[in-house]
Amino acid sequence: MYQEIILDHYRNPHGHGLREPFEAEVHHVNPTCGDEVTVRVHLSGGEGRDAKVEDLSYDALGCSISQAATSVAHDLLVGHTVGEAFETLDAYQAMVQGRGKVEPDEDVLEDAVAFAGVAAYPARVKCALLGWLAFKDAVAQARGPQAQAGGTHE
């Protein structure tokens, strides 16, 4: 499960730290282990799915899987439209929750395919999703209450 890519992101996380400007900030917790992540999103231009993810900044306390997964989310989601980011997120979520039965698309998921091994360890799936679902929640909040897209805010 611990591919070198994961350990690299864990040791040198990309995009770490909380930055301005941002439209929404969320704090998610994994209640089984106490891992925490704070995620801010900065969106620009466009409406709805056409808005662009200008920044995903974060501060995280947690295991290598949750830290590295959030770092990879930063790499894959920033610079894309919300629509594209959610497609990537859906593909990522399907892979890590797929109990090994979902073949990941390397073109979409890039470095995130390293987390395919997490699917074999159901107890760690929440770790791999913590930062990603926080991003989803933050985007929903940034777009206002009527656009709430779900997510597990705790």
- For position 65 contacting other proteins by CB under 8 A, the verdict is yes
- Give the residue, chosen from 17, 34, 45, 145, that forms a contact with other proteins under the rule CB under 8 A: 34
Q: Which one, 62 or 104, has the nearer CB to other proteins?
A: 62
Q: Which is nearer to other proteins, 65 or 91 (CB)?
A: 65
> Is 151 one of the binding residues for other proteins (CB under 8 A)?
no
Choose the stretch contacting other proteins; rule: CB under 8 A; options: 12-20, 84-92, 121-129, 141-149.
121-129
**Could you say whether residue 32 binds other proteins (CB under 8 A)?**
yes
Q: What is the DSSP string of the chain?
A: ---HHHHHHHHS-TTBB--S--SEEEEEEETTTTEEEEEEEEEESSSGGGSEEEEEEEEEES-HHHHHHHHHHHHHHTTSBHHHHHHHHHHHHHHHTTTT-S---HHHHGGGGGGGGGGG-HHHHHHHHHHHHHHHHHHHHHT-GGG-------
Work out how close the CB of 19 gets to other proteins at its nearest, in angstroms, rounded to a whole number: 24
Residue 1 Cβ, how far from other proteins at the closest point, in Å?
7
Instruction: Examine residue 61 and tell whether it contacts other proteins (CB under 8 A).
Output: yes
- 19, 44, 99, 121: residue in contact with other proteins (rule CB under 8 A): 121
Binding site for other proteins (CB under 8 A): 1-2, 7, 32-36, 61-65, 121, 124, 127
